[in-house]
Amino acid sequence: VPAPLDEGYEEMPGPTGEQNHLSCHGRGLVLCLGPDAESAVEQAGTALSQGNKVVVIAPGAEKALADAIKAGLPIVASDGMLDPDALSHLTGFEAVVSVAEKPLLKQYRMALSKREGALLPVITEHKLDQRYVIERHLCIDTTAAGGNASLIASAE
């Protein structure tokens, strides 16, 4: 399991004295589709470590995740396989994770493309924890309030 998400922010200096804060946050609810219990458990662990809640649908998921559920982790597990077309109308999740074969991944992507609203990712990489987060950047421009405007003039 990757290192837990640091929920603070990173200060990023700007050329004119502005303040730049970069932070990472969990995506929200992640749908882990395995396609088997072993890969689904790995996906759930990575998603949880990055501050997400998890719904796992894969053969053997309930048994494989029973201890984690009893421990109170934000996991819902269901044995079976999700019909790819269901992704076109299901709501409440922010990403889909699967390492299934390419034809099934294509069906997932096609179903997600039929949805209204935000585009949702299909995460297929193993142990790539940065795919389970979103980045936020806050820039506070201090130039008008007396920041170092001479740096702007020298750049022209």
Task: Sketch the domain layout of the chain as residue ranges.
Answer: 10-139
**Residue 96 above 80 pLDDT?**
yes
Residue 81 has what pLDDT? Answer: 97
pTM of the model: 0.81
The domain made up of 10-139 is a member of CATH 3.40.605.10: yes
- pLDDT tens digits, 3-51: 556 667 888 887 777 888 888 899 999 999 999 999 999 999 999 999 9
More confident residue, 132 or 9: 132
The three state secondary structure string of the chain is CCCCCCCCEEEEECCCCCEEEEEEEECCEEEECCCCHHHHHHHHHHHHHCCCEEEEECCCHHHHCHHHHHCCCCEEEECCCCCHHHHHCCCCCCEEECCCCHHHHHHHHHHHHCCCCCCCCEECCCCCHHHHEEEEEEEECCHHHCCCCHHHHHHC
- pLDDT tens digits, 136-152: 888 887 666 555 656 55
